[in-house]
Amino acid sequence: MTSRFLTRNFVLVFAITFITFFAAFQLFPTVPLRLLALGASIAESGRFMTAFTAGSALGALVTGPFGDRVGKRRMVVGCSIGFGLFLGAYGLLHARWAFYALAFPHGVVWSGLLTATMATLGEVLPEDGRADGMSLYGLASPGGVIFGPVVGLAAYGRMGFPTMTSVLAAAFVVLGGLSLTLPPDRLDRERRPAFQWPDRTLLAPCLVFFTTALGYGALGTYTAQEALKQGFPPLFGLLPTDAAFLSCMAIGMVAMRVFMTRVGFGARPTRLLPGMLLAAGAGLGMLALMPGGASRHALSALLYGGGYSMVHTLLNAHVLEITHPDRRGAAFGTTLFSFDSGIGIGSLLIGGVIGWGCQHLGAQGYRLGWAVAALFALASLPLSRRLLRESAPTAG
């Protein structure tokens, strides 16, 4: 079933996405270490990700429509090379303020690369199997997330930060060259403004993206903290204490995508959305209510990862279905803005809840945060019902 998706262009778009996340998740854990080495405090070292995420969220509203204007392939090529130049520049910096200054425009370029590759995917996949193809394509980003931090931290320790970033920069310049072989842009398109208001049809999917990202945003930081502070043992004697939740979440994502690619999504994939949202919410509920430590993290992460990854697949397939090809860049820019905004706001809100909870309840404060995250995920269920009503086929 998957053979019809494995065209050269699909493999190239898959590789671009994998390498983008692979490189970014080498950068994200090592830049704070570099900043600490340059004299930053622990609190200050987190400003890099704040500026980067802000650039990605706000930039997506502009880079998406801009990609529709100049062409998807041009956008992929330009942003790939630009992303590489930013990576190389970090290795040359010796002032902390310069990292923060570059983070925002680097986030803008990241948003352009992601929206352009997603829009290109719409032209690569067959129309009658977009959800199946999106499920297969969805292995690219978690793959990068799984391997990026491990390789990045090892490279940082052995090669040093400047050498690591120069290698990553060279890889993106090569990637930009390969992107020239993507399907050519059509030059007869109507000229559009640099900014476009989103279509009303995107309201429901964007709200689902936002509400589910509210809970997702805090998981990377605070599951690791909970495991370390409560002294969870390594899971099965193998997975490190602070990485057990994220590793099992990635395993759940991959397992669900492989399963759904094999069984298929049927004629109306969006009908599966409420069930996947319920699975994600249940996974967070288990994290809040189940007894235990490392095993609780592992079981809840498997369920959460399986449901949450399919939410993205189904929503992106829906956006491809309802959006005209000439506006797909703008559409995915809007969804990326919703997702990144949810991550940033959710990290602040749930982080505040956990901080208050730990102050008054001790270690149980983390569970209070997970309960709030579960409520955010379950709050998206009514929105998914609205999306289903809007996408229901009309009687002829």
Q: List, in order of start, the domains of the chain with CATH numbers.
A: 1-184 (1.20.1250.20), 196-396 (1.20.1250.20)
The reported pLDDT for the residue numbered 322 is 76
**What is the reported pLDDT for 192?**
54
pLDDT in tens, 240-253: 555 677 778 888 88
Checking if the pLDDT of 238 tops 60, the result is no
Q: Average pLDDT, whole number, for the chain?
A: 81
The pTM for the full model equals 0.74
Read off the pLDDT band of 394 (50, 70, 90).
Answer: very low
pLDDT of residue 240: 54
Which stretch of 22-26, 66-70, 125-129, 291-295 has the lowest confidence by average pLDDT? 125-129
Mean pLDDT, residues 85-111: 92
Over residues 206-232, the pLDDT tens digits come to 889 899 888 887 786 677 677 777 766
pLDDT score of 53: 81
Average pLDDT over residues 26-36: 83
Interval 61-97: pLDDT, tens: 888 888 888 888 888 899 999 999 999 999 999 998 9
**Token code pair at residue 111:** 């948003």
User: Rounded to whole angstroms, how far apart are CA atoms 13 and 119?
Assistant: 10
Sign of CA dihedral 356, 358, 362, 365: positive
Predicted local confidence at residue 395, as pLDDT = 41
Predicted confidence (pLDDT) at residue 163 exceeds the cutoff of 90: yes
Q: What is the pLDDT of residues 187-206, one digit of tens each?
A: 555 555 555 555 677 888 88
In the predicted model, what is the mean pLDDT of residues 106-131? 81
- Sorting pLDDT into bands at 50, 70 and 90, what band is 162? very high
pLDDT computed for residue 105 by the predictor: 95
